[in-house]
Amino acid sequence: MKSARFVIACLIVLSALAACKKKEGVTFYESSRKESAEPPVKEVPKDILATQQGFVTLVKNVTPSVVNISTIGKKKLVRPFFEASPFFEDFFGEKGEHPQYRREHSLGSGFIVNKDGFIVTNDHVVRDAETIQVKLSNESVYTGKVIGSDPKTDIAVIKINAKEPLPAAVFGDSNKLQVGQWAIAIGNPFGLDRTVTVGVISATGRSNMGIETYEDFIQTDASINPGNSGGPLLNIYGEVIGINTAIVATGQGIGFAIPVNMAKQVVAQLISKGNVSRGWLGVSIQTVTEDMARSFGLPKSHGALVNEVIAGGPAAKAGVLQGDVITGFDGNSVKDVRQLQRLVGETPVGKRAELEVYRGGKQLKLFVTTTPAEKAPAQAQNPTEREAGTLGLSVEELGAETRSRGISGVVVSDLEPGGIAEESGIQRGDIIVSVNQQKVRNLTEYQKAMKEAASRDAVALLVRRGSASIYFALKLR
């Protein structure tokens, strides 16, 4: 009986060993049941599947034209305050004898424009770079060279000499964008290679952001982070509609891209000649406030107020006068100063453009031919734009010496302390040369013009301060 039990035990052990040999390398137990699990959602709507497949196809087709850019630059260190002391120079040598520099590494993105190896990116990505490396989607790495850059729009073009054929991106039409349309960003955020994010067009025509000189940004909530700069913003057709360039650091889902239509002209000039030529109008302009609009009789506060016309410039030749409000340029309505600057800057040099101005309660049409901005005479910066207030100033006749220089008007001799005239920015010594666009040559004409202005809610004063002319709108009630 015992021998039988022993034989049975041996058989069990041998069977177990055989099973282990058959399952060699398996360290877990499997269920003998082979029932397949059902997905949580059995039927996905076809439109969702189509949308998902659309994004997958888009990324697959477009990603090869997107590149990663890494740069190494050299930045001069700012010496501490105590080192700027003359005593430091006495002990440690002359200033600038041994300047110190720090190596800076940065990452960015870009996209291939054509098969010749031209790549578009942001100017701030390659600015001051000593070496530029460009990595393609196939992991090939090339040395890049800056062909040209334009800091005013933050656009740069670099070039690589690739051995293989390069896939080029396709430009779309940013003028046709509508808020709510899909937007896809591809780039190199924080060094994470070819990251894809999806969102919508949050807004168009964003300006006065203080980011660049010429601004007309596309706003999007497609995630943009450091390293995305210079990469493409795409529509659902895979066309480039913008160049990702900036974010709001204190917020989420607020990114900005340069419209591709603005970039086209800049890129074309950078490739052809390495720099950008812009049109110049020859005027000094300022924003039209609501008070100014009322004083000028404008139905609303829009356009750009001409506070000075440069003698011999295109605007002067076209008949533009001081006090005109430019409301249209080359078929485009002018909303504010920034928009006019951008429209003129984008206009090809030598083009004859229609100029709409508001003068004396009437809309006029003039024709101006732009000249290169780089040939414009050196001018002072546009005067600071200030909010207007109520009157609270005293004036007197100009001195003989001032009149001998051909200057007419009245000089501000005193300001009411804490008055809104003072708060609006008017200063003692300012020369008032016109009231509501009526020139005043002396105290009598000034008083007459102010009496006529009493029936209005606001008065517009043209002030001469040094060599600059500034408009102020002051409320009378």
Distance between CA atoms of residues 349 and 268, nearest Å: 14
- Is residue 154 annotated as a catalytic residue, yes or no? yes
- Yes or no: say if 119 and 134 are a contact pair by the CB < 8 Å rule: yes
How many whole angstroms separate alpha carbon 469 and alpha carbon 226? 42
Q: Spot the catalytic one: 124, 174, 207, 295.
A: 124
Is 124 one of the catalytic residues?
yes
Annotated catalytic residue within 123, 150, 154, 291: 154
What does the H/E/C string look like for 99-150?
A: CCEEEEEEEEEEEECCCCCEEEECHHHHCCEEEEEEECCCCCEEECEEEEEE
End-to-end CA distance of the chain: 123
User: Can 202 be counted among the known catalytic residues?
Assistant: no
CA distance 134 to 122: 14
Catalytic position from the list 229, 301, 424, 434: 229
Per-residue burial over 34-70, b if 16 or more Cβ lie within 10 Å, else e, is: eeeeeeeeeeeeeeeeeeeeeeeebbeebebbbbbbb
Burial status of residue 145 (CB atoms within 10 A of its CB: 0-12, 13-18, 19 or more):
middle
Query: At a CB cut-off of 8 Å and minimum separation 6, what does 287 contact?
Result: 304, 305, 336, 337, 385
User: In one letter, which amino acid is 88?
Assistant: F
Q: Residue 31 corresponds to which tokens in the numbers above?
A: 């269920």
Q: What does DSSP assign to residue 63?
A: G
Residue numbers annotated as active site? 124, 154, 229
